[in-house]
Each structure stands twice: as C-alpha cells, then as structure tokens.
C-alpha cells in the first residue's frame, strides 16, 4: 500500500502501534487512544538488525500473526493534515525500509464503552520477510533479547517498555507470550550480572 493510496480523500488517519510505537511514536499526532485489534496475536518472531540488533546478533521485535481467536492491545494515533504525510514518511523508513514491515488496514476498537471501531493502518512483518525469525521458546527468545543491541538501543529496553505499557495501560489483559519472554530475559540478565 503506497502512502498516497492510504491518505487519498482522507482528512485524518489512525495508525495502530503494538510494539515500540506504544511508547516511542516519534511523530506528531492529534490524539492517541488505547485499544485493540481482533484476529491477530503479538509475537516476538521478527528479527531486527538495525534498531535493536545487528547482522551478527539480530534482536527480536514483535509482529502480528493472524489468529481469529486472538486480539492485540496497543495504541492508535490519529494524525491529520500535514501530520499524515509526515508520519507516513517517517514510518516508511522506520518500519518498512529498516524493518521490512508491510501495511494493512484493520478495525481498531478503542477501549471503553460506546466506542465505535475505526479503520487504522498497521505495520506487520510477514514470514516471507528476510528478517523473519519465526517461533522459538520463551527461553530462547529471552536469551536473544538479553544480549542484543542496535542503533536505537538494547533489545531488553524494547521488551521491558512494552511489558510496562501492558501492565500500566492494559492491566486487565494477560499477554502470556510477552510476560514469559520478559521473565526469561530477566533471568538471563541476572545470571550475566552474577557472572561479572
């Protein structure tokens, strides 16, 4: 989907974030709202050789995997006017060029009663992407995250900030995949610190 196709005839656009966008959007927006999308589960199955890792030791970041019985919580950002072009240009580099993500339009359901769903743009890394790593145990993923670092910072920071967002903004949601990887990564870090 090209940016001009996404914004054609629109005065505003919602962008759904479920990874680092929830705590580091780095673009101007009109407003944000916590909520969820249906039919997808968040998984640390995508490799990152730029932001949170490198070619020798890629980090692990989240993508969405289709699953009719699941939902993924995050934040949607409404951008309008010149913010639309600016945010899409920025996200194209951050998510598509450097991350290998593709875009899709999904229904976003804002948290709270009497809220109607809105169409939102989401970035998804698919299994045919060269950086896609696929499933692994929480222990394997946690160990990889504990020792990876990229140009944006430690992979562990990405994991911990995402877990903190879920605890503070979505305390009613149990994200077993996320929290089991967090526990595994922190165990590896404690061993590494003890070994020094």
DSSP codes of every residue in 107-131: EEEESSTT---EEEEEEE--TTSTT
CA 52 to centroid of chain Cα atoms = 13
| pLDDT at residue 184 is higher than 80 | yes
Residues annotated as catalytic (active site), given as ranges: 95
Look-up of token digits 């996404």: 6
Which CATH number applies to 3-195? 3.10.490.10
pLDDT tens profile 56-90:
999 999 999 999 999 999 999 999 999 999 999 98
DSSP codes of every residue in 143-155: HHHHH-B-SS-BH
The per-residue pLDDT for 51 is 92
CA angle 184, 49, 73 (to 5 degrees): 55
Question: Which among 57, 39, 35 is positioned nearest to 48, based on CA atoms?
Answer: 57
Backbone φ and ψ of 188, nearest 5°: -60, -45
Backbone φ and ψ of 129, nearest 5°: -80, 140
The per-residue pLDDT for 4 is 56
Whether the Cβ atoms of residue 63 and residue 99 lie closer than 8 Å to each other:
no
Question: How far apart are the C-alpha atoms of 180 and 98, rounded to whole Å?
Answer: 27
Percent of the chain with pLDDT over 70: 96
DSSP assignment, residue 94?
Answer: I
* Range with the poorest average pLDDT among 7-16, 64-73, 168-177: 7-16
The per-residue pLDDT for 98 is 72
pLDDT tens profile 90-128:
898 777 777 778 899 999 999 987 889 999 999 999 898
| pLDDT at residue 1 is higher than 70 | no
Domain extents for the chain? 3-195
Spatial neighbors of 58 by CB under 8 A, at least 6 apart, are: 47, 48, 49, 131, 133, 144, 148
Question: Which among 111, 105, 129, 149 is positioned nearest to 33, based on CA atoms?
Answer: 111
pLDDT tens profile 141-161:
999 999 999 999 999 999 999
Burial status of residue 94 (CB atoms within 10 A of its CB: 0-12, 13-18, 19 or more): buried
């Amino acid at each position: 989907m090209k940016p001009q196709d996404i914004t054609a005839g629109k005065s505003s656009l919602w962008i759904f974030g479920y990874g680092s966008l929830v705590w580091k959007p780095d673009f101007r927006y009109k407003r944000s709202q916590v909520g969820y999308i249906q039919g997808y589960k968040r998984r640390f199955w995508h490799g990152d050789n730029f932001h949170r890792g490198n070619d020798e030791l890629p980090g692990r970041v989240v993508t969405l995997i289709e699953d009719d019985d699941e939902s993924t919580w995050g934040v949607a950002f409404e951008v309008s006017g010149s913010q639309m072009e600016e945010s899409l240009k920025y996200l194209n580099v951050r998510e598509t060029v450097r991350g290998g993500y593709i875009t899709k339009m999904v229904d976003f359901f804002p948290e709270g009663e009497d809220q109607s769903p809105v169409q939102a743009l989401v970035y998804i890394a698919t299994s045919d992407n060269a950086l896609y790593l696929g499933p692994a145990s929480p222990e394997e993923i946690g160990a990889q995250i504990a020792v990876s670092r990229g140009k944006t910072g430690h992979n562990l920071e990405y994991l911990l900030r995402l877990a903190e967002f879920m605890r503070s903004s979505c305390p009613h949601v149990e994200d077993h995949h996320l929290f089991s990887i967090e526990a595994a990564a922190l165990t590896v870090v404690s061993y590494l610190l003890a070994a020094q």
